[in-house]
Structure 1
């Protein structure tokens, strides 16, 4: 199809473009529309597919035929227009409230309105400053891994008289709702201190309780946005939750002592030092894989914080939301799972799942806009060689055929956009100012300080 596109400068995140389709392509679309209708319906006195145009015009209506041809022309021309303009629209382009019909023997001219993402700025275009875990394995990292392994071998013993509920202990609770505590209330509720299924403040409130003790607990729950199954976002105000908690019974977590005998029996190493050396090697290997990804994630998060934008455009967030959801559902389908089965297996409510997905979409939208702003500031360009490499790296068998398919579908601008953002990320990674911080050591120290405070 031969098209001509002229466009003005975008205004208010909308690009207006005049699209012209050559008369020869219009005539071909009209001919195809008549043929399709002739094959689709039976016209009395004529064999299927053989009804002449006047008969079809009289029974179906000429305007209806031209409407179908117009739709076919736009369906084919729109991707080519997007490729010509090199834009990734938010939603689909629109062509006015009233459809413009094609005319035989004449060029087809129509004005398209294309919604775009906002052209944003950053507070600063300087290379970001980030903290990173040390490249070398630290004692704290080995200790943390060792602690995790030992917790797998923990047992639970009935609490003694000197028991005070602490992290990891298994409790049986009666929780009476006093105010806004319906979700927590219940009788003989099994509970492990440290559970992520309740607010952190609730965990903190019941630490130190003794068997038989009853305690009034009051915690503040922050407000949040909730997305329902139809994608509608509702804001839930923060509230104060009041419950009466009784600790009915408890089992104290007991972690076995680690010595050479236990190291051999449980992990197959002759000594504790040999076990630690093995863990150190494993952590070192993991770091080779993880640190580059951690660095990339942190520089992207950092540049997103610098985005100058009061409010994210909801139509763009919705588009990102749909992309994430479709990708996730595709992964489930490839695994032979349904969303309901996946949620049920993980005991996740659909409302919580949608809230999490919406938060992901908002953050990804913010990051994308920030990377676009940086790429523009750095004047990053995408060459044909870059695009070809993108297809090659994706393992495409026939690169030329795939590139042709993407171009005809109007998806090539999105590929160029991805390459440009990748170049912006590469610049961030290369130029970021890094401070090494043993975050695990800091976290362990904070935990110990909290225990001492109790």
Structure 2
């Protein structure tokens, strides 16, 4: 087999492959066998029809087409391997020559990862926020805890901001009641702005038994967005009473006896959070600094695929939150053009980041150990609240193991970069990420460590299988890595605002 590579652009090539016809013999034999099972010719059982009769009644051309379709994937894979290119996505294949008994040739145009070297990353310096916990943050966190233990008390006065009013709502358009817009006994926090536009103004000043009517667009239902006459009736007005921040509250809300012990625990937990945030910010900024040193072209289709993925994720998040894209953009004070530009920029940066980390892993000859796959499965399972074996089984059944290998490999490459950069806080103090991580791990306690060991043992069997699969079929691992080149997305959002931040 002969393969020529023509560079169409720095990110797209055309392979021209010529194959001696005798290499198609196994595929021809297979084609005859399969067609023989399908045709019905008098005097011959299925699967026993001779090749000459198949040529006569079905046609040699049909057999050749069947053989070529069967051979193309393997021949294309061999051509890619021999050419030492890193392909992305599916190729556009065209058969250019098929001379029976002589030669077979085809071309394949496909996107590739650009060829480049990751520059030296020693000496990179990044700055993160100081890991300080203010008294305001402690009191805010304590206040949120008090909110969880708040009680509601009925008051005999008009509703004001911050009160909870139990209300009935009815809506009509052109005098016709809108049934799916009606509700009763709805507890609404006055001033929250979390329901129908204009509801806060309408409820404020109403006492129990009073009602008023106002005009506003409906927020949901079959007639969402249409202007309606909305009548709100107040059933009762309640005020929220917070428990005092004293020892009694500490005993009720925690395992501590005094409010000062609870405060100190809050301060410690916040300290862990800010240090974890420091490490996360350091990783992000280290990657940003490395990407700034690399200029590479990006395949348009790969970037577009990442853009489409991000919009699909955003649509799902908005649907779950019951928001429209228009309302979402208004909340962010962005035009659709500005938002589209932000998404495109973030998608391109994510694709570039994937390329750079993949290449760094190649340059540094990084690989994925069995234990690392096991640790990944355990960590993800704990975050998702599922059993490691259950997650591992899902990954196996959905052919996600090679993609996991790629993700772990990229993480190792980024860890290597972080090890070589200098991290300082805004006050100029140098931060040792390994020392911080050891401190945080030590503070986590032996219980967490023991749980990790137990779940790791459960996931080990599948992790072993993943490692074996990756080692046995390197081509599949690379293919998955390529297919996921644009998969560096923003962290999974739990609501529409998180999805927006990632975009």
Q: Is the 8 A contact 1:170 1:250 kept in 2?
A: yes
Which residue is equivalent to 1:59? Answer: 57
Contact 1:87–1:413 (CA<8 Å) still a contact in 2? no
After superposition, the Cα gap between the structure-2 partners of 1:211 and 1:78, relative to the gap in structure 1 and judged at 3 Å, is farther
Larger RCO (alpha carbons 8 Å, 6+ apart): 1
Counterpart for residue 259 of structure 1? 246
Cα distance, 1:414–1:94 mapped onto 2, change above 3 Å: farther
Distance in structure 1 (CA, Å) of the matches to 2:180 and 2:418 = 45
- Cα deviation per residue 1:292-342 (whole Å; 9 max; x = unaligned)? 335435666899999999x995764436756998xx9xxxxxxxxxxxxx9
- 1:279-290 correspondence runs (5 A): 279-286=266-273
* Shift in alpha-carbon separation, 1:315–1:70, aligned structure 2, 3 A: same
Indicate if the aligned counterparts of 2:27 and 2:70 stay in contact, CA closer than 8 A: yes
Return closer, same or farther for 1:261/1:187 CA change in 2, 3 Å cut-off.
closer
| 1:111 match | 107
- Structure 1 residues 275 and 416, CA gap change in structure 2 (3 angstroms): closer
Q: Say if 1:422 and 1:7 are closer, same or farther in 2 by CA, change over 3 A.
A: farther
Number of the residue aligned with 1:156: 152
Q: Where does 1:214-363 land on structure 2 (aligned, <5 Å)?
A: 246=232, 248=234, 249-286=236-273, 291-297=278-284, 313=300, 316-318=303-305
TM superposition shift of 1:260: 0.7
Q: Deviations over 1:334-377 (max 9, x none)?
A: xxxxxxxx99xx9656988xx99x9998676333234257669x
Alignment match of 1:144 (pick from 107, 123, 140): 140
Match of 1:30 in 2: 28
Question: Does the Cα contact within 8 Å between 1:67 and 1:101 map onto a contact in 2?
Answer: no
Change in 2 beyond 3 A, CA 1:13/1:165: same
Counterpart-to-counterpart distance in 2, 1:77 and 1:4? 11
Could you say if the C-alpha distance between residues 12 and 263 of structure 1 is closer, same or farther in structure 2, counting changes exceeding 3 Å?
A: same
Write the distance in 1 (CA, Å) between the matches of 2:42 and 2:364.
55
- Please state how far the C-alpha of 1:85 moved relative to its aligned partner: 4.1
Q: From the superposition, tell whether residues 270 and 19 of structure 1 become closer, same or farther in structure 2 (CA, over 3 Å).
A: same
* Corresponding position of 1:211: 206
Which residue number in structure 1 is paired with residue 386 of structure 2? none
Shift of residue 178, structure 1, vs aligned partner:
9.1
SS across alignment from 2:9: coil
Q: Counting helix residues as a fraction of each chain, which structure ranks higher?
A: 2
Q: For residues 82 and 414 of structure 1, do their structure 2 counterparts lie closer, same or farther at Cα, with a shift above 3 Å needed?
A: farther
Residues 26 and 104 in structure 1, CA contact (< 8 A), matched pair in contact too: no
Name the SS for the 1:46 alignment partner: coil
Partner of 1:423: 413
Determine the C-alpha separation between the residues in 2 that align with 1:165 and 1:305. 49
> Take 2:215 and 2:285, find their aligned partners in 1: how far apart are those partners?
37
Count of residue correspondences? 366
How far did residue 38 of structure 1 move?
Answer: 2.0
Partners of 1:428 and 1:169 in 2: how far apart? 50
Tell me the equivalent position of 1:86. Answer: 85
Shift of 1:275: 1.4
How many Å apart are 1:154 and its aligned residue? 1.0
Match of 1:19 in 2: 17
Three-state SS of the structure 2 residue aligned to 1:10 is: strand
Per-residue CA deviations over 1:12-55 (Å, capped at 9, x if unaligned) read: 85322212345443222112211222234444322433322111
**1:210–1:128: structure 2 CA closer, same or farther, 3 Å change rule?**
farther
Of residues 349, 365, 387 in structure 2, which corresponds to 1:385? 365
Question: Does the C-alpha gap of structure 1 residues 265 and 198 become closer, same or farther in structure 2, counting only changes over 3 Å?
Answer: closer
Note closer, same or farther for the CA distance 1:184–1:37 as it changes in structure 2 (3 Å cut).
closer
In structure 2, the residue corresponding to 1:368 is in which secondary structure?
A: helix
Task: Give 3-state SS (helix, strand or coil) of 2:206's partner.
Answer: coil
1:175 and 1:184 in contact (8 A); partners too:
no
Question: Structure 2 length normalisation: TM-score?
Answer: 0.54
The Cα RMSD (Å) is: 5.6
User: What is the Cα deviation at residue 72 of structure 1?
Assistant: 1.2
Structure 1 CA distance for aligned equivalents of residues 79 and 29 of structure 2: 23
- Cα distance in 2 between the residues matched to 1:370 and 1:431: 23
Larger mean Cα displacement after TM superposition, 23-32 or 168-177: 168-177
* Residue-by-residue CA offset, 1:96-154 (whole Å, 9 max, x unaligned): 3xx4464555453211111458999xxxx99696654x435443443333222221111
Give 1:172's match in structure 2, choosing from 160, 167, 170. 167
SS of the residue aligned with 1:60?
helix
Following TM superposition, by how much is the alpha carbon of 1:94 offset from its aligned partner in structure 2, in angstroms?
Answer: 0.9
